[in-house]
Structure 1
Amino acid sequence: MNPRWYRLMLVSLVLAGTVGCDQATKQLAISQLRDEPAQSFLGGVLRLVFAENVGAFLSLGGSFPRPVRFWLFTVVVGLVLLATLVYLLTSRRVGRLSVVALALVVGGGASNWFDRVVNDGRVVDFIILGIGPVRTGVFNVADVAIMVGVGLMLLAARREKDPGEHPGTAGPGSSPA
């Protein structure tokens, strides 16, 4: 198969899966969790609670004035996502693992960006994990995709740095996806 078509299909599948799963779970959160008390599962390890976040990760920047949040989280993030997608689709130096990693980051970012555009600058969050008093902030499926993508990018960078230590993996001189 033509490497460009393969990459386009791979990126399209990851983007569609990421955005689709995130938006579907957010719609469930809106319909089932809004105006309801938090629900606990697995002995309290998993909590589902409806929240809307006007900031970035862990509400960072949520206290910025509204125009600053708009320009930073909608305009700048939108441009960065678009530039990353163009790079992802056109660069010949990106291996398969990095393609999947960047597609997860772009998909998660795009889904949260879409929320901001259609929800007056707010992103729907609904998942909390933790044991006892040690808990995460509230997050969503898009945030998980972004974190998995970042983890895969770190793994890909390590593999490219030490290609001899990982037999069967693509190094910097191998053909990209």
Structure 2
Amino acid sequence: MNLRKRLSLMFAVFAVSVLIDQLSKAIAKATLSMDVVREYFGGSLKLVLTHNDGAFLSLGEALPSALRHTLLLIGVGIFLLGLVIYTALNKRADTGTIIALSMVFSGGLSNLLDRIIYGGYVVDFLNFSLGSWHTGVFNVADIAIMAGAVMLFLVGFKGKSRSVLG
């Protein structure tokens, strides 16, 4: 795939991902409370507004502020810059890989935008549970990151099985 097509695909994934995430967070901030949990589907879906100062599942939340700031703003920013450059310039990447990497980038960038806009925290508001199993509180950007990671795993597995069988 040529550079122009790769960039167009990356931008399309980015635009849709970031728009949906930021819109959902704006709605959550406008309609949800940090004090009230809204439950749907027998409690399987819970909506509650939270401010996550840490990374995924609040990892790093207890770190000193300066270190957390460095890691979650500057470190993540550098990682995302490298990821977008790699994705754009990787001539061997197929469409699935480009979409997957773009989803990881888009989710990471949208959460990074939160940290910049809101002074260090990310807006989270979704929680799922099924019986005794439940997730932490997360957002649409986290879904994009996880979906991209799963797609990368599946694309990599497909490529390896083809080379073993082929």
- TM-score, structure 2 normalization: 0.95
Q: Distance in 1 between matches of 2:27 and 2:164?
A: 44
- 2:44 alignment partner in structure 1: 45
Give 2:102's aligned amino acid.
Answer: A
- 1:118 alignment partner in structure 2: 117
The percent identity for this pair of structures is 38
Give 1:33's aligned amino acid.
Answer: L
- 1:109 alignment partner in structure 2: 108
Q: Distance in 2 between matches of 1:147 and 1:49?
A: 21
Q: Which deviates more, 112-121 or 27-36?
A: 27-36
Q: Residues 139-166 of structure 1: CA distance to partner in whole angstroms, max 9, x if unpaired?
A: 0000000000000000111111122689
Q: Distance in 1 between matches of 2:99 and 2:80?
A: 15
- 1:19 alignment partner in structure 2: 18
Q: Residues 47-79 of structure 1: CA distance to partner in whole angstroms, max 9, x if unpaired?
A: 000000000011000000000011000001001
Give 2:121's aligned amino acid.
Answer: R
* CA gap 1:95/1:26 in 2 versus in 1, 3 angstroms: same
Q: Which deviates more, 157-166 or 3-12?
A: 157-166
How many angstroms does 1:95 deviate by?
Answer: 1.4
**Number of residue pairs matched by the alignment:** 166
2:42 alignment partner, SS class: helix
How many angstroms does 1:3 deviate by?
Answer: 2.4
- 1:74 alignment partner in structure 2: 73
2:157 alignment partner, SS class: helix
Give 2:51's aligned amino acid.
Answer: E
Q: 1:157-168 to 2 correspondence within 5 Å?
A: 157-163=156-162
Q: Distance in 1 between matches of 2:8 and 2:137?
A: 32
Instruction: Check whether the contact 2:2–2:91 (CA below 8 A) recurs between aligned residues.
Output: no
- TM-score, structure 1 normalization: 0.89
Quote the RMSD (CA, aligned, Å). 1.7
Q: Distance in 2 between matches of 1:62 and 1:11?
A: 31
- 2:152 alignment partner in structure 1: 153
Q: Distance in 1 between matches of 2:150 and 2:37?
A: 29
Gap runs ≥5 in structure 1:
172-177
* CA gap 1:35/1:150 in 2 versus in 1, 3 angstroms: closer
Q: Distance in 2 between matches of 1:159 and 1:45?
A: 33
Gap runs ≥5 in structure 2:
none
Give 1:43's aligned amino acid.
Answer: G
Give 2:112's aligned amino acid.
Answer: W
- 1:92 alignment partner in structure 2: 91
How many angstroms does 1:23 deviate by?
Answer: 0.2
Give 1:98's aligned amino acid.
Answer: T
Q: Residues 22-65 of structure 1: CA distance to partner in whole angstroms, max 9, x if unpaired?
A: 00000001000035511111111100000000000110000000
Q: Distance in 2 between matches of 1:131 and 1:88?
A: 36
